Amino acid sequence: MESKIAVIGLGYVGLPLAVALAKSYVVVGYDISEHRVREIKEGYDRTNEIEETVLKKSSLQVSTDANSMLGCDVFIVTVPTPVDASNTPDLEPLRRASAALGEIITKGCVVVYESTVYPGVTEDFCGPILEKISGLKAGVDFYLGYSPERINPGDKVHTVEKITKVVAAQTPDIAQKIAQIYGKMNNNNIFIAKTIKAAEAAKVIENTQRDINIAFMNEISLIFSKMNISIYDVLDAASTKWNFLKFSPGLVGGHCIGVDPYYLAQASKSLGHDPQMILAGRSINESMANELADLMTQRAGRPLRLLVLGLTFKENVPDLRNTKVVDLVEALKKRGHQVDVHDACADPKEASQFFNYNLVPVLTVDNHYDGVVGAVPHDLYCQFTSADFGRFLKPQGQVFDLKAIWRKSPPSGFNYWIL
């Protein structure tokens, strides 16, 4: 009998996964947000990962009622795993999802976690919650699995159907079963990890590795800036070597790279090991907003009326979670600058709700800004010409290009600065 699958959590990870699996299986999507479920039913995905036509044609059933998952035998958990204000891993979403599933699962069920965690969370944290509430025994009456998510928001090339899926489970037979389920979605592009802990560790180091490499770029960009050398000129030369790793500096936010290293650090500390490199990288990246604000303030020589272009955590996505542009805006304000923000992709209501920012709705012809800050390279901003800058920037105004957006064609008639 074909498996009936429930996907718990319908965000950036869960919805694309559920839609892809629904091409081969009966799939129920569960989310606690009534607003989110209502939008999906109407064919609208606010994350812009699934097009309206695809969503409306999908056989996926979505609900906020946990009872809609009754009768499913495979459950895939894709809830977020954030950190709290002190950067300590917050497992509460996982706890709630596991508790809800404890009321639903029956003998023979498989529960697969995709949420990013440190090694041991699936078996030592989630498993006991499921056991306590269900009265069943993990590895005997039901089975645990893990398959780390690799969704890259806004990436239309490396979609869930086209990437290698890592899977692991408590037994070889269950690992094969999970591999077959995901394999129908991505043409059997599956890697079966040795253990669940190995799969958990693989996921958490993927983003930690990127975080450390970006931290190195951020540090050397600050060093070279003091030497009046652009990091991008340096990278052009260095990247001609065959084995040079191509990373670039920037504000490291979002719900993965800026968060996952803290999960690995937490596990390390619990074992009595001081994760010096991991936390050093985090420290550098967390301080980057203040460093950039200092550089721009020194360049300006006086408080300016600034327009920051971009608020989301990365280009061409509406996601505002853990965006470090907010840190930059606040750092500039503390240094005496007046700051307005425009974003070509963000939801103005979310910007107001999350940060109390009233986004500039339209870039109009008023020429009243002393400076413009290129913070996020949305496609709209990449296309700006000197005439576009002239619509909202004073003659000889400052252009602070933090992401090399206009490096190949710097706007004329303005003072252009690049990191």
- Most distant pair of Cα atoms in the chain: their distance: 73
Nearest to 279 by CA among 290, 268, 288, 270: 268
Contact 378, 359 (CB under 8 A): no
Known catalytic membership, residue 256? yes
* Rounded Cα–Cα distance for residues 147 and 169 (Å): 9
* Rounded Cα–Cα distance for residues 291 and 282 (Å): 14
Q: How many Cβ atoms from other residues are within 10 Å of residue 109's Cβ?
A: 20
Contacts of 237 (CB under 8 A, 6+ apart): none
Structure tokens at 138: 């993990």
* Rounded Cα–Cα distance for residues 315 and 278 (Å): 25
Contacts of 323 (CB under 8 A, 6+ apart): 251, 253, 254, 311, 312, 313
Nearest to 69 by CA among 106, 113, 41: 106
Which of 109, 256, 345, 382 does the annotation list as catalytic? 256
For residue 379, the surrounding DSSP H or E stretch is: helix 379-382
Structure tokens at 326: 């907010």
* Rounded Cα–Cα distance for residues 178 and 206 (Å): 22
Contacts of 404 (CB under 8 A, 6+ apart): 232, 248, 418, 419
List the catalytic residues.
256
